[in-house]
Amino acid sequence: MADPWPWTSPRADAAVPAAAVKPSPDPVAFPHRLLTPAAQFRDVSRGNPRPHSLKGDALVQARLTPQTWRMEVVADRAVDAVVKVTPDPGRELTLGGGTALDLPALLELGKKHEVRLLKAMQCLNIPAPLGQGLWEGVPLREVLRLCGPLRNVRRVYYWGFHNQDPKQVFRSSLSFTQAMETAPGEMPPFLAYRLNGEPISLIRGGPVRMIIPWAHGFKSIKWLQRITLTNDHRANDTYAEQNNDPESHLKTAAYLDDLPAKIPEGNPVHLLGQVISGLSGVKRVEYSLAREADDVRELRWSECQLEEPPADWTAVLPAGVSPRQVLGFNPQTGGPLSWPLRYSMISWMATLKGLARGKYTARARAVDLNGFAQPEPRPHPTSGRNAPDAREFEVV
Ligand SMILES: Nc1nc2c(c(=O)[nH]1)N[C@H]1C(S)=C(S)[C@@H](COP(=O)(O)O)O[C@H]1N2
Ligand SMILES: [Mo]
């Protein structure tokens, strides 16, 4: 059942009131792995045919093999009432000029500038995380530097392979600042060529995919093939055309796994799920349990148990990757700088015992580091769905 939405939550920084049923630590293991195998991500791909269904020569023609992949960086020369002066890059990278970037050149840049980070992939309008990976690649700023001094650029537009059909273009954009500068402790947009230690599979957007660490999935364009430098200040994201906020950052949000519909009386009820650390971080995850007659505005919330950082990161990360080399970790100690890591997700749980027979609705919500509980602080689904997740079950 969909929750009634939205209701405003009171600021949650006050002490958490005790719920009727206390959670207790339980030996149940956290069910989700920190790295989702590439094939197990939930897929959100447009295109007809889907680019990842292409085979053989069609794949070669699409420039989607490691040997044939090319990416252009060009200037937008369109002028209109808003844009009167066009960009002036020192150099464009074009197919026609034989200067388009290929994979060996990108990997060469990676020898000097490679970045790695864990990111939860989350769609702005799907109420469940898609997966989490260790992505590796080259910061966009290093690629744009190949084009020499860039004058009159206000935005960077980019898109992926789209069957040569303009109607199928799925595009996204960044401000020039976001493309070129990264605040200390923040994470740069980058051209990724590896996921979980392997070349990025076609279905995950390989050979090269844009990864925007702080953003919902729609900014992380798959089958990346073209970057356009523009003096247009307007976002041209495909998602913006559907009333979504193209500058929305990932929201801090908890997700609840499915529960059995009926649970025998006397058995513990395990609430399990994942929480994404969005822009404002995670203070805690809370659950509430409601009987049918309860008023959703008066739910009582209790704290859940969060997955701890792994004691041995080498058992989690791909072979040969040290946590010291991963953004979000202390390069000296290899320990995470925050937990959960920024823009990543971990598991949580709560075990409920002694529930009387009857129907229940369990809900979960995250509280961010500023003390806002979901759906606050931005209760607008078009900037990312984040109503508290709910599941019904019956104790029989
Ligand atoms: N080229 C292209 N890139 C794309 C999309 C697409 O349809 N085409 N979908 C986007 C959206 S809306 C999301 S949520 C993520 C999903 O990533 P995934 O399929 O790897 O889980 O990819 C993004 N990148
Ligand atoms: Mo999406």
Domain count, the chain: 2
Q: How far apart are CA 303 and CA 12, in angstroms?
A: 11
Whether residue 131 sits in one domain with residue 108 = yes
Q: What's the confidence (pLDDT) of residue 28?
A: 73
Whether residue 158 sits in one domain with residue 90 = yes
Ligand 1, pocket-test mutation among 162, 171, 216, 222, most atoms within 8 A of CB: 222
Residue 154 near residue 228 (C-beta atoms within 8 A): no
Which residue is listed with tokens 């190949």? 146
Q: How far apart are CA 67 and CA 105, in angstroms?
A: 11
Q: How far apart are CA 282 and CA 146, in angstroms?
A: 38
Residue 52's domain comprises 38-242
Residue among 341, 63, 64 nearest 200 (CA): 64
Domain edge (last residue) among 223, 242, 261 = 242
Whether residue 287 sits in one domain with residue 235 = no
How does strand 209-211 pair with strand 190-195? antiparallel
Supply the pTM of this predicted model. Answer: 0.94
Confidence tier at 23 by pLDDT (50, 70, 90): low
101-121 average pLDDT score: 98
Using one digit for the tens of pLDDT, what is the confidence trace for 56-80?
999 999 999 999 999 999 999 999 9
Whether residue 228 sits in one domain with residue 83 = yes
Residue 351 near residue 270 (C-beta atoms within 8 A): yes
96 within some domain: yes
Confidence tier at 6 by pLDDT (50, 70, 90): very low
Q: What's the confidence (pLDDT) of residue 27?
A: 60
Helix and strand element counts for the chain (H, E): 4, 21
Whether residue 50 sits in one domain with residue 192 = yes
Using one digit for the tens of pLDDT, what is the confidence trace for 290-320?
998 899 889 999 999 999 999 999 999 999 9
Tokens (6 digits) for 146:
């190949």
15 within some domain: no
Side-chain half-sphere CA neighbours of 132 within 13 A: 24
CA 44 / ligand 1 centre spacing (Å): 5
Q: Write the residue with the smallest CA distance to atom 5 of ligand 1.
A: 45
Using one digit for the tens of pLDDT, what is the confidence trace for 330-356?
999 999 999 999 999 999 999 999 999
CA 220 / ligand 1 centre spacing (Å): 7
